Amino acid sequence: MSSGISIRHDIVPQLEQLLGPEAVFVSDLQRYSIDGVLPTAVARPGSAEQIPALLKIANEQNWTVVSFGGGTRQQVGQTIERIDIVLSTERLDKIENYDPGDLTIAVQSGARVDSVSTACAQHRQLLALEAPAGATIGGALAANESGPLRAGFGAPRDFCIGVNFVTGDGVKGRGGGRVVKNVAGYDLMKLMIGSFGTLGVIVSANFKLFPLAQQTATFITEFDSVAQAIQVRDWLLRSPLAPISAELINPTASEYLTNRAPRDPDSWAPEAPSQQKKRWMLALRFAGSDRLLARCRKELAFASPRDLTEAEQMAFWRAVAGFEATAIERHRNGMIFHVSAPLAESQNVIEAAQGAATDYNFVASTIARVTVGTLVIAFLPLAVDPPGATQFASAASHFRSRLSRGASAVVMRCPLEAKPQFDLWGSTPSDIALMRKIKRAFDPNNILNRGRFLVE
């Protein structure tokens, strides 16, 4: 899709002319290196209005552009060969409009998810967007982030009600608006969410908010096998209970929730493997009044759950949300999958991961969002006889071969050396030919994140 020869020595003067010299820099680029590739220049527009002009020139000159928020997901996808411009949204960090009475908020894409959440919490409202620490609104949407609250509040596609973006050739696009119900025009929010910056640069977005729960309760039940835990999950799906979080945590993953202190990187060793057999954990969180929580406790009594105290709850859910980060902190060479599969396949996915991991000298640590059907699975290399680059590829393909056609297993992170060995995105049940057409329509010269995504 790439075409023409770019004249790259012009990049910096042209950007400076367009954005002002204070918005362009060429030193201290290490912060923006992606898979070891350094950009030629970093542009930090101070106004959203500058982005269309910037992308128009880039498109004409065939300069490749990577939009950059908090940098928390830049390692996703195939290595981008050449980065002419990193377009940082860090200066576009304003809350444009927040009317608590309407339970909606409009935010620029460079605002941090955590700071927007804090602003909402001050009004006892919840932005249900969960993302890695440091992530921005634009980045979290581009990466379709979700966390334990997805069971209760849905994914970004369910609560993002509007998006403003600029296409690869500098045309301003918009989907939705600021009201919670709206079918005017095509639903471009859905297209931008999860597109990993390949269709446009997100400039701002609007969200529906939820009232913050007055109180929550978390119940932990433990099981000797995944099958037992899944039975309780199946019971739950048919019961009238509606947890806001429901996570099945495998024995090795629980290791990363109880002890966050980094030990030797690249080695997995349970605290005391011989002493105590770790069990499968099903963690359920409910929100509501005393009476409602008492009812939930009663319904669950057959599984003899452990009730977490308020302080324990906070720490526990923070640890669950941070599982991926903790695993990678301890194991630089870990491989992380985001899996989405039909609900009835949960056990199969968990077992397939375990099987594939063991065969290729990994340990599979899994947190499954069991009422949604999404899973975070970390393949953690064993310290003894660690897997080589091709073994990452083999493990992934072995794992994927055991999933149904409707499932997806995307590698969100793996060692750089392993990346060229395999397809990080895996197969998709959705039509690739249409995806390619959309990519060409929104980014005709393929300047956005060139080479990163599955449609190329």
Partner 1 sequence: MFSFGIASKLKKIVGRDSVLDRAEDLMLYEYDGSLARGMPNFVVFPQNTEQVSAIMKLACSEQLSVIPRGAGTGLSGGAIARRGGIVLSLARMNRILEIDVANLRATVQPGVVNLDLSAALAPQGFYFAPDPSSQKACTIGGNVAENSGGPHTLVSGVTVNHVTGIEVVLPDGRIAQLGSKSANAAGYDLPGVFVGSEGTFGIATAITVKICRLPESVATLLSIYDDVQDAANTVVALTTEGITPAAIEMLDGWTLRAVEAYVHAGYPLDSAAVLLIELEGLREAVDEQAEIVSAVCRRAGAREVRRAKDENERQLLWKGRKTAFGAIGRVSPSYYVQDGVIPRTRVPETLRKIEEVGKKHSLTIGNIFHAGDGNLHPLILFDARDEQQTRRTLEAGREILEFCISVGGSITGEHGVGMEKQDLMSSLFSDSELEVMARLRKCFNPDSVLNPQKLLPSIRTCRETVMPGHASLDAPVASGAELR
Q: What is the DSSP string of 305-333?
A: PEEPPHHHHHHHHHHHHTHHHHHHHH-TT
Q: Which of the ranges 73-81, 110-118, 133-141, 178-186 carries the binding residues for partner 1, by CB under 8 A?
A: 178-186
Build a one-symbol-per-residue string for 333-352: x at contacts with partner 1 by CB under 8 A, - elsewhere: -------xxxxx--------
Lookup: tokens for 449? 């994140």
Nearer Cβ to partner 1 (174/279): 174
Selected from 110, 373, 381, 387, the binder of partner 1 by CB under 8 A is 373
Give least dist CB 262 to partner 1, A. 31
Position 301 contacts partner 1 (CB under 8 A)? no
- Binder to partner 1 among 88, 204, 374, 449 (CB under 8 A)? 374
Least CB distance from residue 403 to partner 1, whole Å?
Answer: 10
**Helical (H) or strand (E) element with 217:** strand 216-223
Q: Which of 182, 361, 394, 397 binds partner 1 (CB under 8 A)?
A: 182
Least distance (Å) from partner 1 to the CB of residue 398? 18
42 binds partner 1 (CB under 8 A): no
Torsion of CA 343, 349, 350, 354, to 10 degrees: 180
Does residue 314 touch partner 1 according to CB under 8 A? no
**21, 46, 211, 420: residue in contact with partner 1 (rule CB under 8 A):** 211
Contact of 98 with 87, CB cutoff 8 Å: no
Helix (H, G, I), strand (E, B) or coil at 440: helix
What's the angle, vertex CA 437, arms to CA 435 and CA 438, rounded to 5? 65
List the one residue out of 111, 94, 210, 205 whose CA is nearest residue 160: 205
- DSSP structure string for 158-197: HHEEEEEEEETTS-EEEEE-SSSS--SS--HHHHHTTSTT
Q: Does the footprint of partner 1 cover residue 53 (CB under 8 A)?
A: no
Q: Which is nearer to partner 1, 11 or 143 (CB)?
A: 143
- Residue 87 or 236: the one with the smaller Cβ distance to partner 1 is 236
Among 178, 279, 398, 402, binds partner 1 (CB under 8 A): 178
Number of chain positions touching partner 1 (CB under 8 A)? 83
* Minimum CB–partner distance for residue 379 and partner 1 (Å): 18
Neighbouring-strand partners of residue 363: 380
Largest CA distance in the chain: 70
Mark the segment that binds partner 1 (CB under 8 A) among 1-9, 70-78, 287-295, 306-314: 287-295
Burial 265-296 (b: 16+ CB within 10 A, else e): eeebeeeeeeeeebbbbbbbbbbbeeeebeeb
Residue 171 engages partner 1 in binding (rule: CB under 8 A): yes
For residue 34, what is the DSSP state? Answer: B
One residue of 2, 231, 361, 427 binding partner 1 per CB under 8 A? 427
Which residue reads 């393909």 in tokens? 397
Tell whether residue 154 is a contact of partner 1 (CB under 8 A). yes
Structure tokens at 314: 């906070």
CA dist., res. 246 & res. 30, Å (int): 39
299 DSSP assignment: H
Residues 390-409 that bind partner 1 (CB under 8 A): 405-409
Contact region for partner 1 (CB under 8 A) — 4-12, 40-48, 193-201, 378-386?
193-201
Could you tell me how far CA 128 lies from the centroid of its own chain? Answer: 13
Residues 73-112 that bind partner 1 (CB under 8 A): 99-104
Number of neighbours of residue 142 by Cβ within 10 angstroms:
29
Q: Does 288 bind partner 1 (CB under 8 A)?
A: yes
Q: Which is nearer to partner 1, 75 or 259 (CB)?
A: 75
| Residue 238 Cα distances to 154, 180, 231, 271, 409, angstroms | 19, 29, 11, 37, 27
Closer to partner 1 by CB, 27 or 430: give it.
430
Interface stretch with partner 1, choices 129-137, 247-255, 322-330, 433-441 (CB under 8 A): 433-441
Check binding of 237 to partner 1 (CB under 8 A): yes
- Comparison of 173 and 270: residue with beta carbon closer to partner 1: 173
Residues 6+ away with beta carbon under 8 Å from 42: 24, 25, 26, 29, 32, 68, 85, 86, 88
Give one DSSP letter per residue of 331-355, joined into a string. Answer: -TT-EEEEEE--GGGHHHHHHHHHH
Within 249-268, the residues that bind partner 1 by CB under 8 A are: none
Pick one of 283, 410, 447, 448: the residue that binds partner 1 (CB under 8 A): 410
Is 215 among the residues that bind partner 1 (CB under 8 A)? no
Part in contact with partner 1 (CB under 8 A); list of ranges 14-22, 70-78, 234-242, 266-274:
234-242
